[in-house]
Amino acid sequence: MTLITTSCGASYERKEVALNSAIQPRTSLSYDKAEVMEESKVMKSVEVETPTVERKIIRNANLNLEIRDLSNISEKVNKIINSHQGFIANSRKWTGYNNRKFYNFTLRVPEEEFEVTLSELSQLGKLLREELSGQDITKEYIDIQARLNNFKAQEERYLELLDKAKDVKDILEVERELNRVRINIEQLEGTIKYYDNQISLATIRVNISEPEAIINNSSNLGFLKSFREALRSFIKSINLIIVLIGALIPWLILVAILGYLLYRIIKKRRS
């Protein structure tokens, strides 16, 4: 009887050991996942506090110019911007009231060429207005970079967990978390790429117009020209009428003589 009891106890212990072995991988995986999240929090807090020397500034400028001769203004602006390794991002021209011409340019130029480019553009004509601005995005940039590093660290740990996972459920769970992390990485990398572009290339908006005085003078000249043409046409008409009258006078005299003779004949017959 004693032997039977001992055997049953041993059998129960073996079943318990086997059961613990079966669930151990999932328990270990859950522990590793929690560890990933805990490590990411620690890394984030450490990296955000890390100071940086380089400041991230987005520079912009707006210029309003008045130029008398706009015949080749596009070529002049293009020449200046090309000499400083920049480019014209957008351009527009239109005609306003009294045929007054306007031009608008959006220029992108390397940050180190910003000041000299502004100086050369200002010399194209009369400077009416100049606005300069600088947006400091250092704090936002550091925060995004820290979040990106954090998600990349999570990605590495999830890849390690994916190699260890044996159960299908665990594999799917890790892949789902890995996809979420990679989506965040892609979004943050896109934001950093956009910021880098805005920082490395300054934006200059140039608004150019003709002087108001030139428009008024040209309008007056146009009126005088029209008046002169009308007067010239009137004089031509008068001359034509005089010529016609001169050509008709002999015939009119002949008709008058014939009419007088006819009148005399009719009068004699009646008398």
Q: Over the stretch 21-80, which tens digit does the pLDDT of each residue have?
A: 333 334 345 545 555 555 555 444 444 444 545 899 999 999 999 999 998 999 999 999
Please tell me whether residues 88 and 115 are part of one structural domain. Answer: yes
Residue 226 lies inside a defined structural domain of this protein: no
Question: Which CATH number is 107's domain given?
Answer: 3.30.70
Residue 6 lies inside a defined structural domain of this protein: no
DSSP 55: -
Which is more confidently placed, 105 or 267? Answer: 105
Please tell me whether residues 157 and 41 are part of one structural domain. Answer: yes
Question: Residue 222: which pLDDT band, with cuts at 50, 70 and 90?
Answer: low
Within 8 A by CB and 6+ apart from 76, the residues are 124
C-alpha span between 247 and 235 (Å, rounded): 18
Residue 218 lies inside a defined structural domain of this protein: no
Residue 228 lies inside a defined structural domain of this protein: no
C-alpha span between 239 and 231 (Å, rounded): 12
Please tell me whether residues 118 and 178 are part of one structural domain. Answer: no
Please tell me whether residues 209 and 110 are part of one structural domain. Answer: yes
Question: Which CATH number is 154's domain given?
Answer: 1.20.58
Please tell me whether residues 182 and 122 are part of one structural domain. Answer: no
Which is more confidently placed, 93 or 230? Answer: 93
- pLDDT for 255: 82
Residue 12 lies inside a defined structural domain of this protein: no
* First vs last C-alpha separation in the chain: 187
- pLDDT for 261: 82
Answer left, alpha or beta for residue 90, where phi above 0 means left and psi between -120 and 50 means alpha.
Answer: beta
Tell me what the mean pLDDT of segment 171-198 comes to: 96
- Which of these, 86, 82, 72, lies nearest to 125 by C-alpha position? 72
Please tell me whether residues 110 and 73 are part of one structural domain. Answer: yes
136 vs 16, 59, 96, 110, 264, CA distance in Å? 63, 9, 38, 17, 113
Domain that holds residue 113: 57-138+202-213
**Residues paired with residue 133 on neighbouring β-strands, in sequence order:** 60
Q: Is the pLDDT score of 245 beyond 90?
A: no
Residue 88 lies inside a defined structural domain of this protein: yes
Give the other-Cβ count within 10 Å of 157's Cβ: 20
Residue 127 lies inside a defined structural domain of this protein: yes
pLDDT digits (tens, 9 = 90+) for 102-124: 999 999 999 999 999 999 999 99
The β-bridge relationship of strands 201-209 and 57-66 is parallel
Tell me what the mean pLDDT of segment 73-94 comes to: 96
Tell me what the mean pLDDT of segment 178-198 comes to: 97
Of 199, 228, 247, which one is at a domain's C-terminal end? 199
Which is more confidently placed, 270 or 34? Answer: 270
How many domains are there within the chain? 2
Please tell me whether residues 208 and 132 are part of one structural domain. Answer: yes
Please tell me whether residues 133 and 61 are part of one structural domain. Answer: yes
Please tell me whether residues 133 and 143 are part of one structural domain. Answer: no
Please tell me whether residues 40 and 147 are part of one structural domain. Answer: yes
Residue 255 lies inside a defined structural domain of this protein: no
* CA pseudo-torsion sign 159, 160, 161, 165: positive
Question: Residue 256: which pLDDT band, with cuts at 50, 70 and 90?
Answer: confident
Please tell me whether residues 156 and 39 are part of one structural domain. Answer: yes
Question: Residue 251: which pLDDT band, with cuts at 50, 70 and 90?
Answer: confident
Of 199, 229, 247, which one is at a domain's C-terminal end? 199
Percent share of the chain, pLDDT over 70: 76
Please tell me whether residues 82 and 185 are part of one structural domain. Answer: no
